[in-house]
Amino acid sequence: MVEGARRSEVLPVGDLPRHGATSVDLAVPTVALAIAAHPDDVEFGCGATLAKWAAAGCRIHHLVLTDGSKGTWVADDDVATLVERRHTEQRDAAAVLAGERGHDGVDFLDWPDGELEAGMEQRRQVCQVIRRVRPEVVLGHDPWRRYRLHPDHRNAGWLVTDAVVAARDPKFFPELPEKPHRPRCMLLWEADEPNHVENADGMLEIKLAALLAHRSQYRSTMGIGGERASETSPSADDVAAFRAVVEQQLAAHGALAGLPAGEAFHLLSEL
Which amino acid type is present at position 232? T
pLDDT of residue 1: 38
CA distances from 7 to 11, 17, 60, 208, 269 (A): 7, 20, 36, 47, 18
pLDDT of residue 11: 65
Which backbone phi and psi does 240 adopt, to 5 degrees?
-65, -40
39 within a domain of the structure (yes/no): yes
49: left (phi over 0), alpha (psi -120 to 50) or beta: alpha
d(CA 188, CA 162): 13
6 within a domain of the structure (yes/no): no
d(CA 251, CA 259): 8
d(CA 87, CA 74): 18
d(CA 17, CA 86): 39
pLDDT of residue 10: 54
Which backbone phi and psi does 253 adopt, to 5 degrees?
-65, -45
How many structural domains does the chain have? 1
218 within a domain of the structure (yes/no): yes
Residue-level pLDDT, tens digit, the chain, 271 residues: 334 444 445 566 666 666 677 999 999 999 999 999 999 999 999 999 999 999 999 999 999 999 999 988 888 889 999 999 999 999 999 999 998 776 678 999 999 999 999 999 999 999 999 999 999 999 999 999 999 889 999 999 999 999 999 999 999 999 999 999 999 999 999 999 999 999 999 999 999 999 999 999 998 899 887 654 444 578 889 999 999 999 999 999 999 999 999 999 999 998 9
**Separation of CA 227 from chain center:** 29
**Separation of CA 225 from chain center:** 26
Does residue 157 sit in helix, strand or coil? helix
- The residues near 7 (Cβ < 8 Å, ≥ 6 apart) are none
Domain of residue 108, CATH code = 3.40.50.10320
143 within a domain of the structure (yes/no): yes
The Cβ of residue 39 has, within 10 Å, a number of other Cβ atoms equal to 30
Range(s) of the domain holding residue 179 = 29-268
16 within a domain of the structure (yes/no): no
Say if residues 187 and 157 touch (Cβ distance below 8 Å). no
15 within a domain of the structure (yes/no): no
Say if residues 92 and 85 touch (Cβ distance below 8 Å). no
176 within a domain of the structure (yes/no): yes
pLDDT of residue 232: 58
23 within a domain of the structure (yes/no): no
